[in-house]
Chain A
Amino acid sequence: MRETKYWIWHLAAGVLILFLLGLHMAIMHLDSLFGAWGLNPSGGEAIAWNNVVARSRMAAMIVVYIALLGAALYHGFYGLRTIVFELGIGPALQKAVTVGLWTAGLCLFVLGAIAAIAAGRL
């Protein structure tokens, strides 16, 4: 029954990613449109350092980054676990895969979250 829980969160994370990643991609690629909203205050490319700093300081963007980070890591790693499990590996290896993916996912989450919070004080 635990799988039902994991799977429902997989779906919920997927829906959240759809909105947040859509927003993220729009900000990064439709830079001319979002410049007016103060997301790219220095103009030019969205990845220019001044724009990155401006976005990193916005509290709303920090929340968006961390939520997207967590949702995408969960969704992606659950999906990867599904594919690996369907290879027909034994129960011991299944356990190892689950533990390994949780560890890797948490490490990446901590790294990304620390970076997002630290970048807020740039």
Chain B
Amino acid sequence: MPETSLSNRTIDVYIRRYNPERDARPRWQRFTLAVARGMTVLDGLHRIREEQDPTVVFRYSCRMSVCGSCAMLINGRPALACNTQIADVASERLTLAPLPNFDIIKDLVPDLAPLFQKHRAVQPYIQRADMEEVEKPTGEFYQSPKELERYLQFAYCIKCGSCMAGCPTLAADPEYPGPMPLAQAYRYSADSRDSGFDERKVQAGASHGVFRCHYAGECSNVCPKGVDPARALQLMKRELVLDYLRLRRKRCPASVLRVPGEARRNPDVPAPPPYTV
């Protein structure tokens, strides 16, 4: 498509507005927006705020799909406003709404507090018997690249809530933790430094736990970071089943990597430069 055809095209942008002080329920408001080449949805929102309506409220921070603040329903599908090009998703009409399955605070801002509460509930941190080593480390825990790979994909999660908005189970069942917290439960349980599976399996294996996932797959479809929560949840189910059948391999959490203390420098290898900080 030639560059000029994009630069001066105007599209209709429908934004779901809700002001808790004035509105009984959300309403749609239409704006017209001249779409420039390379304009993201977040850029478009800024443009509307600057030129048409300064009261449009949305949440954002980093503008580069790292912070996970700007997830919203873009043309009916959860995505980050900052890494969605308007030209990719809309030719005439763009609809923007807050993420469903979360309360609306104002306009496009969802209340993510339940997401963080559920995240905290699965104990998303390294748990070990020797917690003093975690609090006051004397060295680093040993972990091979293979062991890192077992959970690294799930560690890319930015907690934007897109998966929670796409999940059909979560649409009706508020007790279900949802794809993000359960994926994080697996991420820590799969970590070779961790031994907290026995605590996490209480939440994950509960009546409203991971077995309420039926692999509709939408969490993985919408994840802007390729985290694939659906995969993590199935692997968590597998761990729970193996654990129940007493087939789960018990492993000791990784130990601290000790460097040999009495090593002598090879005279052919130059010494490192002095510390600068």
B212 touches A85 (CB 8 A): yes
B202 — nearest CB in chain A belongs to which residue?
A1
Residues of B within 8 A of A85 (CB): 173, 207-208, 212
CB distance from A28 to the nearest CB of B (A): 30
Judge if B221 is at the interface, Cβ distance under 8 Å. Answer: no
Q: Which of A3-11, A41-49, A51-59 faces chain B?
A: A3-11
A4 to B201, CA, bound (A): 10
A88 touches B174 (CB 8 A): yes
Residues of B within 8 A of A3 (CB): 205-207, 209, 211
Q: Report A's interface with B, CB cutoff 8 A.
A: 1-5, 7-8, 82, 85-88, 94
B205 touches A88 (CB 8 A): no
B205 touches A1 (CB 8 A): yes
Chain B, interface residues (CB within 8 Å), range: 20 to 34
B172 touches A88 (CB 8 A): yes
Q: Report B's interface with A, CB cutoff 8 A.
A: 169, 172-176, 201-202, 205-209, 211-212, 240-241, 243-245
B244 touches A86 (CB 8 A): no
B207 touches A7 (CB 8 A): no
A10 — nearest CB in chain B belongs to which residue?
B211
A86 touches B169 (CB 8 A): yes
Residues of A within 8 A of B208 (CB): 85
A88 to B206, CA, bound (A): 15
Q: Which of A2, A5, A88 contacts B175 (CB 8 A)?
A: A88
Contact flag A4-B173 (CB < 8 Å), given A85-B208, A86-B212, A94-B207: no
A3 to B202, CA, bound (A): 10
CB distance from A59 to the nearest CB of B (A): 32
